[in-house]
Amino acid sequence: MKHILAVDQFERPWLEGLFAEADRMRALPRDAAPQRGKILATIFYEPSTRTRLSFESAMIRLGGNVVSTENAREFSSAIKGETVEDTMRMVSGYADAIAMRHHEEGAIARAVSVSDVPILNAGDGPGEHPTQALLDLYTIHHEIGQIDDLNIVMVGDLKYGRTVRSLSLLLRQTNNCKITFVAPDAVRMRDDIKGVLDASGVLWHEEADLHAAMEGADVVYQTRIQKERFASEADYLAVKGTYVIDAEAMTHLPQHAIIMHPLPRVDEIAVDVDDDPRAAYFRQARNGVYVRMALLNQVLG
Ligand code: NCD
Phi first, then psi: what are they for 66, rounded to 5°?
A: -135, 135
Confidence of residue 125 (pLDDT cuts 50, 70, 90): confident
The residue segments making up the domain with residue 199 are: 130-285
62 backbone dihedrals φ, ψ, rounded to 5°: -85, 0
Does residue 43 sit in the same domain as residue 180?
no
pLDDT tens, position by position, 245-265: 999 999 999 999 999 999 999
Assess whether 134 and 281 both reside in one domain: yes
Query: What pLDDT band is residue 78 in, cutting at 50, 70 and 90?
Result: confident
Same domain, 92 and 216: no
Q: How high is the pLDDT of residue 208?
A: 98
Q: Are residues 134 and 255 in the same domain?
A: yes
Tell whether the model's pLDDT for residue 189 goes beyond 90.
Answer: yes
Using a 6 Å cutoff on CB, does residue 52 contact ligand 1?
A: no
> Domain containing 252 — which CATH number?
3.40.50.1370
Same-domain pairing of 44 and 57: yes
Which residue out of 53, 129, 239 has the highest number of ligand 1 atoms within 8 Å of its CB and is therefore the one to mutate?
A: 129
pLDDT tens digits along 33-67: 999 999 999 999 988 889 999 999 999 999 999 99
Probe target for ligand 1 pocket from 163, 239, 281, with the most ligand atoms within 8 Å of CB: 163
1: in domain? no
Residues annotated as catalytic (active site), given as ranges: 50-51, 80, 101, 129
Are 184 and 242 in contact, with CB atoms under 8 Å apart?
yes
Domain count, the chain: 2
Q: Are residues 180 and 93 in the same domain?
A: no
Q: Percent of the chain beyond pLDDT 70? A: 99
139 and 249 housed in the same domain: yes
* Same-domain pairing of 118 and 173: no
Residues 106 and 233 placed together within one structural domain of the fold: no
pLDDT at position 74 over 80: no
Tell me, using a 6 A CB cutoff, whether residue 166 lines ligand 1.
no
Q: Are residues 199 and 270 in the same domain?
A: yes
DSSP the chain: ---B--GGG--HHHHHHHHHHHHHHHT--TT--TTTT-EEEEEESS--SHHHHHHHHHHHHTT-EEEEES-HHHHSGGGGT--HHHHHHHHTTT-SEEEEEESSTTHHHHHHHH-SS-EEEEEETTS--HHHHHHHHHHHHHHHS-SSS-EEEEES-TTT-HHHHHHHHHGGGSSS-EEEEE--GGGPPPHHHHHHHHHTT-EEEE-S-HHHHHHT-SEEEE----GGGSS-HHHHHHHTTSS-B-HHHHTTS-TT-EEE--S--SSSB-GGGTTSTTB-HHHHHHHHHHHHHHHHHHHH-
Q: How confident is the model at residue 1 (pLDDT cuts 50, 70, 90)?
A: low
In angstroms, rounded to a whole number, what is the distance separating the alpha carbons of residues 231 and 13? Answer: 41
pLDDT at res. 30: 87
Sheet holding 65-69, edge to edge: 65-69, 39-44, 97-102, 119-124
* Pair 56, 154 in one domain: no
Residue 244, amino acid:
V
- Could you tell me the pLDDT band of residue 81, with boundaries at 50, 70 and 90? confident
268 part of a folded domain: yes
The reply to whether 2 falls in a domain is no
Task: Quote the CA–CA distance of 133 and 173 in Å, as a whole number.
Answer: 12
Distance CA 56, CA 99 (A): 9
Please give the model's pTM, rounded to 2 decimal places: 0.95
262 Cβ inside 6 Å of ligand 1 = yes
Of residues 73 and 213, more confidently modeled? 213
Q: What is the mean pLDDT of the chain?
A: 95
pLDDT digits (tens, 9 = 90+) for 162-172: 999 999 999 99
pLDDT tens-digit series, residues 218-234: 999 999 999 999 999 99
Quick check: 138 pLDDT over 70? yes
Q: Are 48 and 122 in contact (CB under 8 A)?
A: yes
